[in-house]
Amino acid sequence: MTVFQGLIIVFILFVLYKAIRRFINKEISIWLMVFWCGFWVVLGLIAIFPIIIESIATFVGVGRGVDLIIYIALFVCFYILFKMSIKQKKNEKDIVDLVRKIALVQAKKKG
């Protein structure tokens, strides 16, 4: 095991600890805790056994495992950006609707 792999494992153990603590403190749901723990365990396995990602990259036709990880990360980031943009537009619309309703209620009280 390399120093880099060791550091990654220590970091993953820290993140797993934090996720479990947040679940115990009822800050996140069990499903979110399971998702994050699963995500970090998979990353830990890839860090310990990099041949896994290399094999998957070869199977899907990408040159290197690192390239596959970068492509996936970019796709996920753009998808999250897209979802956040939609959510922000919805929130803006909801705020405008709420302000209008409050203004109408206040206008009726004065009038």
Whole-model pTM?
A: 0.68
Query: Quick check: is 107 in a domain?
Result: no
CB 19 within 8 A of CB 28: yes
Q: What domain range includes position 35?
A: 3-84
Q: How far is CA 81 from CA 61, 74, 95, 102, in A?
A: 27, 10, 21, 31
- The answer as to whether 48 is a domain residue is yes
One pLDDT digit (tens) per residue for the chain, 111 residues? 789 889 999 999 999 999 999 999 999 999 999 999 999 999 999 989 989 999 999 999 998 999 999 999 999 999 999 999 999 999 999 999 999 999 999 999 887
Identify whether 12 is part of a domain. Answer: yes
Task: Evaluate whether residue 25 is within a structural domain.
Answer: yes
Instruction: Count the domains in the chain.
Output: 1
